[in-house]
Structure 1
Amino acid sequence: MKRRERTRQLIELGGLVAKADLVELTGDDRAVILGLLVEAAATLRGEARERQLTLWRQRGKRAFEAAPMEA
């Protein structure tokens, strides 16, 4: 069961990458996408963590409201 849950989580996370248009905007360059994610992780390790989380959360909520993800 845990394997199935993990698979679902990974599929959903991939859907978020696609929803953010990162696949199109990077030409499906996986190194660039990973670099973006590594940069975001570095930001979250910094002093501006809470401020950045708030900003990203607001943007994410607006994106979901604009076009909800399909089930």
Structure 2
Amino acid sequence: MREWQVKRHERTRQLIELGGLVAKADLVELTDDDRAALYGAFLTVAAKLSGPDGAQALVLFRRKGKRAFEAEQQRDISPQSQPY
């Protein structure tokens, strides 16, 4: 595979994963799939991260995201109670 194809494949995978996060956070449903609203929300987050408290906001966002991933993983691996 050529170098540009590898880079394109990696970028495509990254975009698919990011779209998955948008769906996982229920943003598609919460905004009724309104692309302008989603973009506005992302711009708000970007402004927060580029502001004077950006580093602190990033720490908080990362912590919240890690907790959500861990909680989801716990739900996925915990034994389901059987109704029997």
Relative to the length of structure 1, the TM-score reads 0.90
User: What residue in structure 2 maps to residue 55 of structure 1?
Assistant: 60
Number of the residue aligned with 1:45: 50
Listed as ranges, the matches of 1:1-71 within 5 Å are: 1-68=6-73
Q: Which has the higher contact order (CA 8 A, sep 6+)?
A: 1
The alignment-based identity, stated in percent, is 63
Unpaired runs of 5+ residues, structure 1, are none
Larger radius of gyration: 2
RMSD: 0.9
- Moved runs in structure 1, 4+ residues, more than 3 A? none
1:51 is displaced (CA, Å) by: 1.1
Number of aligned positions between the proteins:
68
Normalising by structure 2, we get a TM-score of 0.77
Aligned partners of 1:44, 1:10: CA distance in 2, in Å?
A: 20
- Which sections of structure 2, spanning at least 5 residues, go unmatched? 1-5, 74-84
